[in-house]
Amino acid sequence: TTTETICEQLKSGLAGRVSGLRVLTNSPRIERLLEEPNTPINVIGVGGQLRKDTSARTGYLFEECIQAWSHMRVDIALVGATSLRFDRLRRPRGFACDSEAEARTKAMFLELADLRCVVMDSSKCSKSSSSAFEFSSVSAEVVHVVIMDAELVATGRVEECVDWFEQ
């Protein structure tokens, strides 16, 4: 997934350095990626029911964990989007995923953070969404940064996408 790619970049970028970086995740795959003793990243796994199709913990137990940690603030949230939902005029309306529980999980992660980022591959900007559960609107007040792969440059649609997110 795109979020795993970002974690791999973090891991390789911090190799051999001292870091106080702490990653809070609901993904066992991210935990495994960062578990090596020589990786200078502290990992905190959040509980919940494991969704085997996405390898993410969600649901009631996840919400209880986050609510118990309500005093905690996170500097940066990196939340992956399964799709970008559009309105009737083909303007982006919201970031979405395939599960109601996972949408709630993503929204809660965003609420914890001072800097809220959505991560998605550029193909999400050109196809219709089959994901029904929006976790965030496409709004600079809610999502501060959208991170995409370089393939967007090849499509020649960079300005169009930037305009979407600046509105």
Going by the DSSP 8-state scheme, the letter that residue 83 receives in this structure is E
Rounded Cα gap, residues 71 and 112, in angstroms: 9
Per-residue pLDDT of 75-121, as tens digits, reads 888 899 988 888 888 788 899 998 999 999 999 999 988 899 999 88
pTM of the model: 0.83
Q: How far apart are the first and last CA of the chain?
A: 28
Strand pairing class (113-119; 74-80): parallel
User: Of the candidates 153, 92, 99, 155, which has an alpha carbon nearest to the alpha carbon of residue 118?
Assistant: 92
Long-range contacts of 48-54 (CB under 8 A, 24+ apart): 48/105, 49/101, 51/99, 51/101, 51/102, 54/98, 54/99, 54/102
CB 64 within 8 Å of CB 49:
no
User: Of the candidates 61, 59, 52, 60, which has an alpha carbon nearest to the alpha carbon of residue 29?
Assistant: 52
| pLDDT at residue number 107 | 94
What count of Cα atoms within 13 Å lies in the side-chain half-sphere of residue 97?
22
Q: pLDDT 10s per residue in the chain (167 long)?
A: 788 888 888 888 887 777 778 888 899 999 999 898 888 888 889 989 999 988 899 999 999 998 888 788 788 888 999 888 888 887 888 999 989 999 999 999 999 888 999 998 877 776 666 678 999 998 888 999 888 877 766 666 666 666 666 65
| pLDDT at residue number 72 | 80
Give start and end residues of each alpha helix (H) in 69-126: 100-112
